[in-house]
A and B are shown apart, each in its own frame.
Chain A
Amino acid sequence: MTPRGAQTPVTPSDPGDSLLQALVRRQWTHGGIDEIAMAEIAGRYGVSVGEVRGVVHFYAFLDDASGVTHDIRVSDNIVDRMAGSAELMALLARETGLSPGESRGPARLSFTSCIGLSDQGPSLLVNGLAMARVDAGRAAQIAERVRRGESVSRWPASWFTIEDNVRLPGRLLRGAFAPGEALGRARRIGSAALLDELEASGLRGRGGAGFPTARKWRLCAAAPGAHRVVVCNADEGEPGTFKDRVLLANHADRLLEGMAVCAAATGADIGLVYLRGEYRNLLDGLEGAISRLRAAGVIGDGFDVHVHLGAGAYICGEESALIESLEGHRGVPRIRPPFPVTRGYRGHPTVVNNVETFIAAAMVALNGPGWLREEGTPQSAGTRLLSVSGDCASPGIYEVPFGISIAEVLERCEARDTRAVQVGGPAGSLVPATRFDHRISHEDYSTGGSFMVFDDSRDLLDVVTNFTRFFTHESCGFCTPCRVGGALLGKRLDKIAGGGGTRVDVETMRQFAGVMRSASHCGLGQTASNPVMDLIEYFPEAIDARLCSMDYAPAFDLDAALREARELTGRDDPRAHLDRSEA
């Protein structure tokens, strides 16, 4: 057993493969991975069946069965809910006769975390392929074909059309160059000058944390290692974000060239793209771009790129969990330090950057640092792609200069009567109208690009409960505060939504949040209580109106506890229920 993070030899031919990739392939070809397949794959990869089981059960898109022919997963992001995903689910369940989340047969129906189509919901995945704007008519057609058992490969291709919805292109989206142009200039000026230019450009990571890109690349270049690795983080899991989807679909060539530029700057020989499983429909396009760039000599000689697919795990967007996943393991974040730049993929120094970061880096390599500096603020150079969704007339992609105010974005997307904006996804901030003059920038509201708009018809407690459930579902389960704290927060929110909450519950949620923020092992747990805390701080009325007057009410709901007995006896009459006022 090799300890996590130890250097293991990488042969040039295998960086495209791992246990996880074998499982993903098996899932596609056989509709699941049964015990026999697990044993066979365990043997092939030299691990125990128990470990294979552990991996299968970690990733939401892997099934420990076989022969699943129709796997329908409805996107559960709050914005999809607002567009009617709950009604869509009810219709599908009724028309197919399947129980959401419970079917064990060849056809299955369940909810899944945001699939990156918030601008065109309600959306769903069928056998991993995305479908947008699924209205009642389409849902009926889907159900009919599922009932007939018709293979998804025979469904009309037009059903799988995805819109780009680029509403406001800027310099990044408009930029273009011939294959090899950016890399050519990078090579001509040399890696030292390239890194200086990148630093002067002020480029900071677009994945959310905003780490200076040049500093990351320098650290990797300086770290000792037989190999160096460039990883593109195309996991785009933050609910409400979809800009990487549009970049991958339309600008994959520039992305790959950005990775090649990074390889030139750091001396890397291995390139990997970690593409979220939800974006499997983008795989062929990405592979096509890889072939084109190999033919053009941009990659393939001394630095090649392979694509790995994720399998339904938000935590794999966290860079060290992503590396674990690339190695084929469960996506559990590593202990840091050491950071990936010194010990990353299979122990080798590794740069992990977001899709948008690599494209911006390619543009700087081509045009010099001024290209980015011409827009934005001193600490946040350039533009930012926002994924705008929710209550507005024109959801889609907006490329805006850093420093733009939230109010200006709302105006551009034609939002009216806005109560709140969730900036940066559930891990970010719930912003009230009194703060719409604040700006999108690293020095004010920093964001990975998610911008979800809620007007004054929305119940923000509902919104926050949806986000909290998301984190509970996506917690990797490694550390106590996030694993248990997230679930406890969810219970208190349900209690409040059900009208049984008190002040004590609000204080208890603060207590959980304090522990989750400071004691969690990674960013997921550290931010998972942000929605609840923002709600308490900025929208106390959304909670207070639901509290019952008592100071303390038991967290144990007697009536709910009787549910099992009711189901067993088939009773649901009033006398089979406990009235809370009597309890």
Chain B
Amino acid sequence: MSVLIVDGREIEFEPPATIIEACNKAGVYLPHLCWRPDFSPHGSCRVCTVRANGREVAACITAAEDGMRVENTADDIVEKRKTLLSMLFVEGNHVCPACEKSGNCQLQAVAYYHGVTAPTLTYFYPPRPLDASHPDVVIDLNRCILCELCVRASRQSDGKNVFSIGGRGIDAHLVVNSETGRLGDSELDIDDRAAHICPVGAILPRRGAFQTPIGRRKYDIDPIDVAGDASEGET
């Protein structure tokens, strides 16, 4: 067993582990969006930024070392996360009150956790398409945060390869691997994990909308540090 010192508190971990794995096992909440324990780490959202032995790193792709000092709640680290969260909001088109994921959305929940309520940055208002060609699943790219959880779920859990990323820079976007580029012509099945893994309201199974009324949803009841990652299969 090795020891990690997170904000002064010692936690034990079994190497090899990343900082976020060590914290997760020990029950220490470390905000994140693109990381899930059962998929390969990705390192794109950067919301899990911490200071480890004086250096700022993404906790999901940095190995925990014995005796390492991790700052998770330092003011400047939290400020940086708030900026990152605001960046994710303004990059897309997130109208939370009109979104059926509201209350179950991990972006919204992490933002609340860190006290980001009204975005202070200029919105980009990018024109982004909606794909309703699949009988059971809708994609609304206005809300995609490019976490690639669906990309990984399809490849690593479903044994398929339904999603990829296209474009680059601010034009990077999710693409569907089908001849036509439409979801309806892809191999995606409603029972695939990729259909349910989206932490925001970008990939939504049909006919689930508003089954749990707003006010009684996951993050309406408990904040994310208690409630954990967005559930798969709930809207």
Contacts and interface: CB of A to CB of B under 8 A. Distances in A.
B83 A54 contact: no
Interface stretch (B159-167, B199-207, B221-229): B159-167
Contacts of A520: 46
A355 interface: no
Nearest to B46: A519
B171 interface: yes
Given A337-B63, A475-B170, A480-B47, 13 more contacts: A50-B175, A53-B164, A53-B166, A54-B164, A58-B168, A473-B169, A479-B44, A484-B88, A487-B91, A488-B121, A508-B121, A519-B84, A556-B122
Interface of B: 40-41, 43-47, 49, 56, 58, 61, 63, 79-80, 83-84, 87-88, 90-91, 121-122, 124, 146, 155, 161, 163-172, 175-179, 181
Nearest to B89: A484
A514 interface: yes
A542 interface: no
A276 interface: no
A48 B43 contact: no
Nearest to B160: A1
A57 B168 contact: yes
21 contacts: A49-B178, A50-B164, A50-B175, A54-B166, A313-B168, A476-B169, A477-B146, A478-B172, A479-B46, A483-B146, A484-B90, A485-B87, A487-B169, A487-B170, A488-B87, A491-B122, A511-B79, A515-B87, A521-B46, A521-B58, A556-B122
A487 B124 contact: yes
Contacts of B167: 57-58, 477
Interface string A506-533: 0010011011001111000000000000
A508 B166 CA distance: 30
Nearest to A473: B169
B41 A335 contact: yes
A476 B168 contact: yes
The list of the 10 closest CB pairs from A to B, nearest first, reads A477-B172, A50-B177, A484-B87, A48-B177, A555-B122, A518-B56, A475-B169, A54-B166, A54-B164, A1-B155
Contacts, number: 128
Contacts of A508: 121
B43 to A, nearest CB: 5
Interface of A: 1, 3, 39, 48-51, 53-54, 57-58, 313, 330, 335, 337, 472-481, 483-488, 491, 508, 511-512, 514-515, 518-521, 555-556
A330 B43 CA distance: 17
Nearest to A495: B122
What's the dominant secondary structure at chain B's contact region?
Answer: mixed
Contacts of B43: 335, 479, 521
A417 B176 CA distance: 55
Contact of B61 (A335, A475, A476, A485): A335
A549 B21 CA distance: 50
Contacts of B171: 477
Contacts of A39: 179
Contacts of B80: 514-515, 518-519
A61 B8 CA distance: 51
B106 to A, nearest CB: 14
A483 B83 contact: no
Nearest to B60: A335
Nearest to A331: B168
A521 B84 contact: no
A481 B40 contact: no
Given A335-B41, A484-B87, A477 B124 contact: no
Contacts of B166: 50, 53-54, 57-58
A48 B146 contact: no
A519 B170 contact: no
A357 to B, nearest CB: 27
Contacts of A3: 40
Contacts of A53: 164, 166, 175, 181
Interface centre among B79, B83, B175 (most CB of A within 10 A): B83
Given A53-B181, A488-B121, A480 B87 contact: yes
Nearest to B178: A50
A474 B169 CA distance: 7
Nearest to A517: B56
Contacts of A472: 169-170
Contacts of B124: 487
Contacts of A330: 165, 168
B17 to A, nearest CB: 14
Nearest to B56: A518
A521 B40 contact: no
A91 to B, nearest CB: 29
A48 B161 contact: yes
A51 B56 contact: no
Nearest to A1: B155
Nearest to A4: B40
A332 B117 CA distance: 32
Contacts of B47: 480
A335 B63 CA distance: 12
B39 to A, nearest CB: 11
B122 A488 contact: yes
Given A1-B155, A51-B177, A335-B61, A481 B168 contact: no
Contact of B44 (A485, A491, A512, A521): A521
